[in-house]
Structure 1
């Protein structure tokens, strides 16, 4: 979530300590749009920019690899950085001063994920100490968690440890036995927080249970609105929760949804809902500024060339659920030759990036060669619009973001040319200026 701005030309990742290695598989930098004090640009300013680092471990680990637009996380494939020595650092030069609002980092995936712990993001205009001097920040967009301390209720309470209020106590402890998580019993469980007045909610962050049962959260719905009909569970669907790792926290971003009540609703028989912390963020009340990247695709109308079976509907790729197991019903699946999928953004946008989540239970290689095309024409089902990139390998169940110069268009197509091809997309997210 983007919740601060820091003015600076240089963005450093600095890992203080003896005998440390710093590996970055992709670094993205976002900032306030130049034409407005009140809109946060979804363009990645770092891609293709000049990068340097304190040292280079071997020929595979060049500093420039972190801004090559490739978030491949296997170091041996040559798209990650790697330093050696003490107090390692990496730096990208944005060439001019920006009001930076967020930095996204892709960690190494083939080993050593713990090495990134303790790294500092430093932003400013000075190259003193190689840029590792942090400058002060100024609050721009609203980073206040609206849920903390608010009144919460739930459908039922399993025992004295699982009160609804535990999810808004400001404590993200994920061991249920320590008394900071909720726990319901019975069918169709739900939990609700009352924000007391209407907000334009832009993201909800959920911390899952960590001592057991992490799979129980899958399928929960985030619903936001002003009605208490059906206990609030009939309000607008903002996102559907997929897998959150044990004790993990995941933030769900979406177009602003107006509402006073935020519900987490888990439909089904014999379900238990446990939430160890829920945070709610919204547009700053004093402006129209929202510092969250808005996924324009979620909930939009989607179509595809064909549908393999009832599990593989086109709409599954924009349901807000990045679950990558096809059998769980949140992925698309076509059949036949030259398959394609298309989302209608309803109006023209300057699209700057598209994120794709690949199938995870099998067949990850099928996505290779698919083209992302953007434009306003429906000629050839939209597959004659401008090609912006061609998809290479995306790991099983992985999500990859493709950044590019802004392309104007209403329609975003994923087109896979060839005979006897199958196109499966488990989530497609579209971001724009």
Structure 2
């Protein structure tokens, strides 16, 4: 799905640049085109994190090929400044009229690919091709930070369990080890949130293999009880001396992975491998239910703003539209409480872009005044015609996301994306049995 800072006219939709058509004449209707913005940008959401190897851009032929000069290709997972602050792959010095040029990105990782001009200009792209491979599981523990409840001696530090070395002889200095204590634990901080597919544990080989028996693997975002109350992936019944066993965690999400023994014992781990992929925030609005203060006509239903389609021409029936109300509003019920990172809004392109000016984004759990009294994330000063803007909400929690205009006007929204993760802060800790050893996990690799 593509978006851009603004829309020049009905021919210049952002999605034209990913339609598989390299026709380089603008009137053919296969090029994107912004207005002359102060920092025009275009972005494609790959929907998952990918290793990006090549980005190929086709320039316009019939006019103004120099406009692309100096554009930057940026790749990453952030929507700060609409994604334009992500790491840079390349600067486009020039592309001849109607031709294509390929830029090497060397496996940079990201969900979003941006092309941005850091000056006042139009931005036109006749095709953007992204050669990439979806990030599959990798051992993310190697880049983490480990700690444990205690340290037996100078060679048993916590980080030995994530050094990439499966040597199972303790004296060789590649195993972690606690003192004998009640409820010994070891934890790796993955530094960001991941979806964990498997955890592989290598046991000590030269002594005391039975000490690992009954240890629990726990995964989550909480540090309550040092992380030992996070949801359980598996119980380790046993691991042969010097052996490795893999436990399937079925995409459990979390930043912390713990191994904990619920008895007095030593805890020794000769390697812990955590195979995972980044747990990115998802557009949870796509699965929500939308409503609004009124409906202008049969084309303008509230759910058009969460249909996954960023088409900005009202007649194409992908935008919501109220009547001229005293305080028009639109709301999505996310059906559960979420921590909202960003809200991204695409404005109408064919008419009346100024109507969005001054709209407020509100997030919370109340339906008082139709949700319009919930805490405010942002005020929309303006969005260019057909443009998309992202607003940082910094983890505000709520079930309802509203867009409200505090004046008499029409309210039209061509897409509202709510990037969020479940709010688990109020979820009670479960004491009973939890699912373990679910082996249904499957993986796939794709190119885009």
Q: Return the structure number with greater strand share.
A: 2
TM-score bracket, normalised by the shorter chain, equals: 0.3 to 0.5
TM-score by length of 2: 0.44
TM-score by length of 1: 0.46
